[in-house]
Amino acid sequence: MNDQQPVQLRVALAQVDTRVGDLSGNAELVTRWAAKAAAAGAHLVVFPEMTLTGYPPEDLVLRESFARASEHALVDLAATLEEQGLGELAVVVGYLAHTEGAGPAPVDSIPADDDHDRPGDANPRHGAPRNAAALLHGGEVVVRYYKRHLPNYGVFDEARYFVPGTELPIVRLHGVDVALTICEDLWVEGGPCGVAGQAGVDLVVSPNASPYERAKDDLRLPLVRRRAAEAQAPVLYCNQVGGQDELVFDGDSLAVGADGELLARAPQFVEHLLTVDLGFDPSSVPDRREGRIGPMTVTRHVLSEAPVPAFEAVPGLVVEPLSDCEEVWRALVLGLRDFIDKNGMPSVVLGLSGGIDSALVAALAVDALGADRVYGVGLPSKYSSEHSLSDAEDSAKRLGLHYSVVPIAPIVDAFSGSVDLAGVAAENLQARVRGTLLMGLSNQHGHLLLATSNKSEVAVGYSTLYGDAAGGFAPIKDVPKTLVWELARWRNAEARRRGEIEPIPQNSIDKPPSAELAPGQQDSDSLPSYEELDAVVADYVDRDLGMAELLERGHDPEVVARVLRLVDTAEFKRRQSAPGTKISLKAFGRDRRLPITNRWRESLPSVREGAAL
Amino acid sequence: MNDQQPVQLRVALAQVDTRVGDLSGNAELVTRWAAKAAAAGAHLVVFPEMTLTGYPPEDLVLRESFARASEHALVDLAATLEEQGLGELAVVVGYLAHTEGAGPAPVDSIPADDDHDRPGDANPRHGAPRNAAALLHGGEVVVRYYKRHLPNYGVFDEARYFVPGTELPIVRLHGVDVALTICEDLWVEGGPCGVAGQAGVDLVVSPNASPYERAKDDLRLPLVRRRAAEAQAPVLYCNQVGGQDELVFDGDSLAVGADGELLARAPQFVEHLLTVDLGFDPSSVPDRREGRIGPMTVTRHVLSEAPVPAFEAVPGLVVEPLSDCEEVWRALVLGLRDFIDKNGMPSVVLGLSGGIDSALVAALAVDALGADRVYGVGLPSKYSSEHSLSDAEDSAKRLGLHYSVVPIAPIVDAFSGSVDLAGVAAENLQARVRGTLLMGLSNQHGHLLLATSNKSEVAVGYSTLYGDAAGGFAPIKDVPKTLVWELARWRNAEARRRGEIEPIPQNSIDKPPSAELAPGQQDSDSLPSYEELDAVVADYVDRDLGMAELLERGHDPEVVARVLRLVDTAEFKRRQSAPGTKISLKAFGRDRRLPITNRWRESLPSVREGAAL
């Protein structure tokens, strides 16, 4: 290497939308985007975490046939890239590794000094599955890296699936030493980036699958900067984009220099090839070690010593993060679109009540799928106010979706002729007649039914199981009612800005919310104001605060008591609810796992006299 | 200690049914059973894992207020036991510990050599929650043990919640050195029992929460024997009993001598105080060490040196395990009863179709709750055969439950007057009218609706979402259809043996299964034989076998292809299904976590020419 002249490299981050379980489709995606990277003059391209399997593959990991197929797909991909004339490009791709390991050994033969607890049951996982990344080059798998830090909180269950890695491979590419890490490894000080820093590297690459959450992009840049400082090298953070059941990935891929400079940042919620031109001064790395460093073993692999011919570096694209409302809107649109499209559904149907929730979901669905794939149905009952139907029609017209009306009164009457239901039972009946009608249309025409429940309702169980809660996907399940209104206003303002028709009727935004299941019924008859409700839910559900802390934070004690009772007793309904896109710190679903059978009720701690801890 | 004369101890295993979240109720339970143990002359009583919180508390662990309340409840319990005159009895009780730890520290400040991966997200767990057991004596908490091995497979998520322990406390009680361990610690060779063996102990106690699974009792005794050999001391295995959402705990508590002799075994599925008289020869323990041993630190605590006065030892009760059918039946009865009772439901309602599934669920419900708490409803349609209604009536009469009939034709006709549905949509409509009627009765009268789906149906999605799948609990969700028949025959034979009326109509057992949603419809029109189906489901779902292995095991390739396609595409239905008692190696629910959006389909591996691993 020439110490006088900086060594250069053009790198690319392929922020792509993979499909869980689609090994061949994802391999084709990699080949297509590798060709784009090569055409852009890149020498190295980085794909997201578990590119070949999609993320998260959940219990597919436990299927040995799947893990073996993933290993095969990796080898095949290396060969395909070479065949396509892309062999000179170094490609870092994520996959599921099936490595030899403890194997399905007798349950008690696990070494005692192994802190990573293993299945002790009769059905342990096959071999030693790993969350892996490989560097492909010249038709070969050059090195394989196994993720060291396995997240096992929130929506993540990686300790269920993977054995952590202990080796850090460093590959010299055109005279540049590149270390491989994966996702959570970045979140740990003294983790693989620290080891890379001690070993001496020129560049760290990090494939990620980091789900969207409001304001999460505010966390990523400082984090990547800290790791770049630790590694004393630039860090390339490539995140996936797209929806997968309850999760949506926003991309937001980043390149940060050794000095913490933001070199490039990709747009959120779209596939994107982010190219970055890097210059290295190899003499700035004082030492290049291998072997045991801290808890890891560093290995070094030389692919090519000769630097690439000098080229004129161009500054990287740096996209500004989106505003909060736009970010949430695009998260919801992409989460919905990918759920529908990746599951091969041609169209969606939903009930339009004239209320804000269904109006917002309809607007999201039209943004996600186009009006032609969205079917709205007005389902008036004898308690529906006049504006219900007119607002529903208005919503349908503004959006240009397919619209029809089915009055439910004759059916409700038929039920009432057979069974005697009153009060809440009679209210729920109407909601279930609507659910049954909509599911009938879903079955008949192949539409997926969208549930319109918002997070405030799901929290307190203010919905009818198999009624308005029915559906295959619940796009605003994690959106509190106050944010529903805010998003509606934002979306209308956005339409005005673009000179388009406002998609959401102003009347749906302005009128007081009502389930209209009884004469003159309003949400405020049963619930505190949504401002109060949402504030308590954010603290109790998202932040897991107890009674003392809730009161300290100034919530009204009576409101807290009511809301907590409702939240605690609605768990059985939530357990049967459709998935919806997570946008908050803690979404109902995989993210929050409470027992149904649960006697715990928050109260102020009663200190026993004389008792002390 | 007197080396000539054996030291004695009478110990008791309190196999109790706790309630998740009910700290004060569980503490009262401990006090009540400690009194029974004292009355039986015991010197030491062992309760199940996490006695005070119930198990599994799931995300309640993440609530700091709950963990603090658990700590308080433990201290209060010690004081209460003393006040009740039970201070001389040593009580080993499980609880949730809230210990100081890394705390909610910045996400990147975790030491690199900590292999137990921590939350890296914005909302890490409070302090360091621990799955703990304490020995209470004389009004004090004498020692606390923190579970070392945290299961994180199947239904277990303990790595999500707990920080593993590194200390092994050994308490000398009446001259006997007692080591504390918890549940999974027993499943690990060289784990805490191995450390106890190296340290030198007289006795190991193990509070457990080990869920029932068919044939699991066959695993426990050999396991406990291996650990007794490792510890060179008797092992007391106390398991909890009772239902908690999807899980049922069977008890099956055991005492095994140092030589592997089975000293006592408690009956399954009932609360029981198992007393065991033990004799120790302290001189047989060559060495008594403390300090660092292997990965743990052993501490020693002396409570009392003086042996108890000699008493006449009585042989322990050794209950024979139940037959497979009786074991499953009692598991289902207890799982159902505890779900209903612990959730405070007064009664259950279910649709009686005259078929075997609803007849079996009705019989289970009557065994679980008594006939007076069970409401059956016949819901004939125009496709119902004559025997449907007569068999349903027969079932209701045999069981003595409340019975009524609501024909659905007028309601189905009302729907048909409003929307035009045909084929599967029309079939599902009938099921949903039934679901809506039953939910109406549930809402009106406070009954919990039981879903009657079996595992074969749930596997292949042969059920209607919000129709026959509707309900708050699905008692036979994990029972394959072939086992449904077997259980029905067993239960009738049991009735004959007892001289009682057979609870299940023979005709319901004998007739070919049909959903009766279309003229002349039979299950065999849409599905392979249940023998074939259940065999494939057991291998594909329970054992996670891939295509090559399925064919190797001799399944018909066409049947395998059909069944796998159905299982793979029914995930969205299962995600919204009611919980039901797990009895198999792998139940649908928390135990099996597959993505809905999933392109992976099993096929024979196609080996790429020239590709090799």
Q: Strands B402-405 and A7-15: what pairing?
A: unpaired
CB contact under 8 A, A613 and B418: no
For an interface test with A, the pick among B77, B98, B117 (most A C-beta atoms closer than 10 Å) comes out as B117
Find chain B residues with C-beta within 8 A of A595's C-beta.
20-21, 56-58, 60, 244-245
| Chain segment A339-396, per-residue pLDDT in tens | 999 999 999 999 999 999 999 999 999 999 999 999 999 999 998 888 899 999 999 9
Paired strand residues for A179: A170, A204
Q: What band does A607 get if pLDDT is binned at 50, 70 and 90? A: low
CB contact under 8 A, B160 and A157: yes
Residue of B nearest to A163 (CA): B115
Q: What band does A507 get if pLDDT is binned at 50, 70 and 90? A: very high
Mean pLDDT of B398-427: 96
A356–chain B nearest CA distance, Å: 25
Mean pLDDT of A523-544: 95
Residue of A nearest to B541 (CA): A63
Q: Which residue has the tokens 């919620």?
A: A269
Find chain B residues with C-beta within 8 A of A461's C-beta.
none
CB contact under 8 A, B425 and A413: no
Give the A:B interface size as CB pairs under 8 Å. 406
Find chain B residues with C-beta within 8 A of A420's C-beta.
444
CB contact under 8 A, B421 and A428: no
- Please say whether the beta carbons of B437 and B405 come within 8 A: no
CB contact under 8 A, A418 and B437: yes
Q: What percent of chain B has pLDDT over 70?
A: 94
The reported pLDDT for the residue numbered A5 is: 67
pLDDT tops 60 at residue A103? no
ipTM attached to this prediction: 0.94
CB contact under 8 A, B419 and A406: yes
Q: Which residue has the tokens 């003392």?
A: A548
Mean pLDDT of A234-251: 98
Rounded to the nearest 5°, which phi and psi values hold at A255? -125, 130
Paired strand residues for A298: A168, A291
CA B409 from centre of chain: 41
Phi-psi region of A544 (alpha: psi -120 to 50; beta: other; left: phi over 0): left
Question: What type of residue is A500?
Answer: E
User: How far is it, in rounded angstroms, from Cα A139 to Cα A151?
Assistant: 32
Q: Where are the alpha helices (DSSP H) in A511-586?
A: 523-526, 530-537, 547-552, 557-569, 571-575
Residue of B nearest to A426 (CA): B440
Mean pLDDT of B107-125: 36
Residue of A nearest to B429 (CA): A440
Q: Strands A272-280 and A291-293: what pairing?
A: unpaired
Residue of A nearest to B472 (CA): A572
Q: With 0-12 CB in 10 A as exposed, 13-18 as middle and 19+ as buried, what is B56?
A: buried
CB contact under 8 A, A194 and B598: no
In the predicted model, what is the mean pLDDT of chain A?
93
Nearest Cβ partner of A444 from B71, B421, B472? B421
Nearest Cβ partner of A112 from B151, B191, B411? B191
Q: What band does B127 get if pLDDT is binned at 50, 70 and 90? A: confident
Question: Tokens in use for A135?
Answer: 């560097």
| Chain segment B322-378, per-residue pLDDT in tens | 999 999 999 999 999 999 999 999 999 999 999 999 999 999 999 999 999 999 999
Find chain A residues with C-beta within 8 A of B79's C-beta.
608, 610-611
Q: Which residue has the tokens 């549905």?
A: B421
- Residue A293 belongs to what H/E stretch? strand A291-293
Nearest Cβ partner of B596 from A108, A190, A579? A579
Nearest Cβ partner of B245 from A122, A429, A596? A596
Rounded to the nearest 5°, which phi and psi values hold at B145? -115, 135
Find chain B residues with C-beta within 8 A of A223's C-beta.
107-108
pLDDT tops 90 at residue B112? no
Mean pLDDT of A252-264: 97
The reported pLDDT for the residue numbered B5 is: 67
| Chain segment A427-446, per-residue pLDDT in tens | 999 999 999 999 999 999 99
3-class secondary structure, A62: helix
Closest CA to B391 of B246, B510, B213, B531: B510
Measured distance between the N- and C-terminal CA atoms of chain B, rounded to whole angstroms: 64
| Chain segment A564-573, per-residue pLDDT in tens | 999 999 999 9
Gyration radius (Cα) of chain A, Å = 27
Indicate the angle between helix axes A557-569 and A530-537, nearest 10 degrees. Answer: 70
CB contact under 8 A, B411 and A413: no
CB contact under 8 A, A544 and B608: no
pLDDT tops 80 at residue B113? no
The reported pLDDT for the residue numbered A252 is: 96
User: How far is it, in rounded angstroms, from Cα A341 to Cα A242?
Assistant: 11
The reported pLDDT for the residue numbered A119 is: 37
Nearest Cβ partner of A595 from B107, B244, B572? B244
Mean pLDDT of B383-387: 87
Residue of B nearest to A165 (CA): B115
- What's the whole-model pTM score? 0.94
Residue of A nearest to B414 (CA): A411
pLDDT tops 90 at residue B57? yes
Catalytic: which of B49, B184, B246, B457? Answer: B49
- Please say whether the beta carbons of B157 and B131 come within 8 A: no
| Chain segment B213-234, per-residue pLDDT in tens | 998 778 899 999 999 999 999 9
Active-site annotation holds for B325: no
For an interface test with B, the pick among A596, A603, A608, A609 (most B C-beta atoms closer than 10 Å) comes out as A596
User: How far is it, in rounded angstroms, from Cα B334 to Cα B340?
Assistant: 10
3-class secondary structure, B492: helix
Find chain A residues with C-beta within 8 A of B443's C-beta.
421, 424-425, 428
Instruction: Report the 10 Å Cβ neighbour count for B215.
Output: 12
Q: Which residues of A are catalytic?
A: 49, 147, 183
pLDDT tops 60 at residue A141? yes
pLDDT tops 80 at residue A606? no
Find chain B residues with C-beta within 8 A of A191's C-beta.
112
Phi-psi region of B257 (alpha: psi -120 to 50; beta: other; left: phi over 0): beta
